[in-house]
Structure formats: structure tokens, C-alpha cells
Amino acid sequence: MTQEELEDDFREAGQPAYRAKQVFSWLQQKGIQDFSEMTNLSKDLRLMLSKQYYIGNAKIAQRLISKVDGTRKYLFRLHDGELVESVLMDYHHGRTNCISTQAGCRMNCSFCATGRSGFSRNLTAGEMLAQVQTAQRDGGVRISNIVLMGMGEPLDNYDNVIRFLNLVSDSNGMNIGMRHISLSTCGLVDRIYDLAEHKYQLTLSVSLHAPNDEIRQKTMPVSRKYSMNELLKACESYEKTTGRRISFEYAMIQNVNDSDACAEELAHRLEETLCHVNLIPVNSVAGTGYHKSSVERQQKFVQILERHGITATVRRTLGSDINASCGQLRRRKQEEVSHV
């Protein structure tokens, strides 16, 4: 709940407004898990709260810590048994937490592990916050950056994600500014226009993964609904409305989208857009048959884009020894359960 919503409830219950601020701060800043820990409230009030409300949480079902770089991967169990994944890494000049926005995903990109384990439900804003707070507490660090790049399609859970963005950036709460947040989407065009209207200063990452509709349709079913022309038009409009440069994600898959011709075509398509291209060597997921492009291919791709004036970088891989990319732990757990 937002502080304003708490204030409304407290007013109705005959409580002073400053109580709402205290409760909001316990929940958001301190991330407490139980009403009994709200020690500056009377016992009666704590009892009343515990009868009428619950505190959303994310229990750690599994924790893997990379020996290579300290990246922490969590599998969280939600109140109804749903499993979601989060990753805590040292990245982008601070501690970055990659969180999930849905249990599973409906987008079914062919290279992605999450879609393979099906879609269960949307997460609430509270469940997104709980991932950040639990990772922060467990890691013993202050999280400075958040990326919505875990399981799920954030713009397919639009209202809860907007609510989460407002809560996590609240100066009375975790106070993580929009400039420290990235939201990644497979390209739900209508929602990109909606998001632009908020004029948030977050970074919008768009998963492109192809230079044209023909290749994109082979790997991303969403591209049958929205063409690349429509998507790139939405991106240009987003950039004009918000003043923020778009970041395009491009997972490099051997012999699928990594040729020189693909790089030339991509550069041509992105000429009009103020953007940055993030190349990600694809993570092999069992059953997909995809392999990552060679280092030489990656470098050549960057060179071609840069020759056309488009900045591009190859994303550093973190947590490679713990399968840190999302979707894989949930899937394994589900398989374990189904084999029992």
C-alpha cells in the first residue's frame, strides 16, 4: 500500500495520520516481516494491524552464490507456493537486483527458459518489493539499482508494475530513484505508449533480438502481434516524450541472428533512434538447440554497429557458475516435483 492509502485507512480507524508514515517506514525502509516488530506503535494497534492486514513476503527456497563473482541467485517461494527467481549482482556501479514481475511468462520466446515452465500468475507490487527487501537483508547490502529483467513480462502486468515503481522510488520508502531502475520489455507496443505518459526517468530496455520481422517471428511470438516498424515507432515516440535513450537488447544466437548482414540491417533500422545496443551472448537453455555466437562474431557485430554510429556493448556475464539467468531454477524445481 502507498502511504496515502495507509493514511486513508488509518483516518477511518480513528488513528492519527503520522501513524501511517511510521507503518510505511517500517514496511518500506526497514523491510520488517512482522507487525510485532513495529516497536513505536502501541500493542493494541499492532494487534489490530495483524488482524486486518498481512505483510507480503518472499521466502528463500534456494540460494546459490557464485564462486567467481559473488553473484547471488535466489529462488523465492510466495505465499501460495509459486516460485520466482531474483539475482543480486555487483553491477552498474552498485548493487543491482534483478527481479521477477510474474510467476512464469506468457510471451514464449523460443530461447527463454521462463516461458518453458508456463505462466501461473501476475505478482503483486508487494511481492516485487519483497524480493528486493529479502535480497537486501540476506545479502547484507544496500541495493542501489533495480532491473525488471527477471521472470515475466513487466508490461503484461502493467498496473502492479507501475504501483511497484512508485513504491520503491518513494522518498519515505526504499528511495531507489527512477534513474536507477531499468524495465525490460519484449515490446508490447500499446503499453510502451502508456508508460511514456508517466515520463518516468527509468531506462526502457527493449528486447529486439533480430534485425527484421522474419527472424524476429522465428524466436519471439509477440512479433506476430506487433511489427518491428510499429515497435520502433513506439520507441522513437517514447524517447521524444521522456527524453530518455532506449536500450535495445540483442541476444546473439549462432547462425540465427549474428551474421554481418544482420548487423548491417540492424544498424540501418536503428539509424533514426537515439539508442544503445546491448549484445548478450545467448545462454543455452536445454531443449532450445541454440548456441552463443563466438567472441569473434560478437566483436564483428559491435564493429559494424559502431561504424554506423550506434553505440554497442557486449554484456558482461555474471554468475555463470550458478546458472544466474532466470527461469532455470523454477523449471528444475517444477521438474523435481513432477518426478516425485
* Category of 132 on φ-ψ map: left (φ > 0), alpha (ψ -120 to 50) or beta: alpha
Residue 210 binds ligand SAH, judged by CB under 6 A: no
Kindly write down the DSSP assignment for every residue of 24-68, as one continuous string: HHHHHTS--S-GGG-TTS-HHHHHHHHHH------EEEEEEE-TT
Which range of residues in 40-48, 133-141, 168-176, 278-286 is near ligand SAH by CB under 6 A?
Answer: 278-286
Rank residues 1 and 161 by Cβ distance to ligand SAH and give the closer one.
161
Using CA atoms, how far apart are residues 157 and 231, in angstroms rounded to an integer?
19
Q: Which among 211, 62, 219 is positioned nearest to 134, based on CA atoms?
A: 62
Among 7, 127, 249, 258, which residue interacts with ligand SAH (rule: CB under 6 A)?
Answer: 249
Using CB under 6 A as the binding rule, the residues of this chain from 292 to 331 that contact ligand SAH are 325
Q: Is 296 a catalytic residue?
A: no
Among 125, 188, 280, 312, interactor with ligand SAH by CB under 6 A: 280
Of 47, 66, 105, give the one whose Cα is nearest residue 318. 66
168: helix, coil or strand? helix
Q: Does 102 bind ligand SAH (CB under 6 A)?
A: no
Q: Is 184 in the site for ligand SAH (CB under 6 A)?
A: yes
- The answer to whether 268 and 229 are in contact (CB under 8 A) is no
Q: Are 146 and 168 in contact (CB under 8 A)?
A: yes
Dihedral angle sign, alpha carbons of residues 169, 206, 226, 326: negative
Among 66, 133, 185, 293, binds ligand SAH (CB under 6 A): 185
Nearest CA to 99 out of 71, 127, 78, 60 is that of 127
Among 109, 135, 178, 210, binds ligand SAH (CB under 6 A): 109
Interface residue with ligand SAH among 49, 89, 186, 318 (CB under 6 A) is 186
Neighbours of 129 (CB within 10 A): 24
Judge whether 326 counts as a catalytic residue: yes
Q: Which of 32, 161, 267, 285 is close enough to bind ligand SAH by CB under 6 A? A: 285
Per annotation, catalytic residue among 98, 112, 235, 326: 326
Catalytic annotation, pick one of 85, 127, 153, 249:
85
With CB under 6 A as the contact rule, the residue among 57, 110, 145, 283 that binds ligand SAH is 283
Residue 111 binding ligand SAH, by CB under 6 A: yes
Nearer to ligand SAH, 15 or 257 (CB): 257
- Total residues contacting ligand SAH by CB under 6 A comes to 17
* Residues labelled as active-site residues: 85, 326
Contacting positions for ligand SAH (CB under 6 A): 107, 109, 111-112, 149, 153, 184-186, 207, 249, 251, 280, 282-283, 285, 325
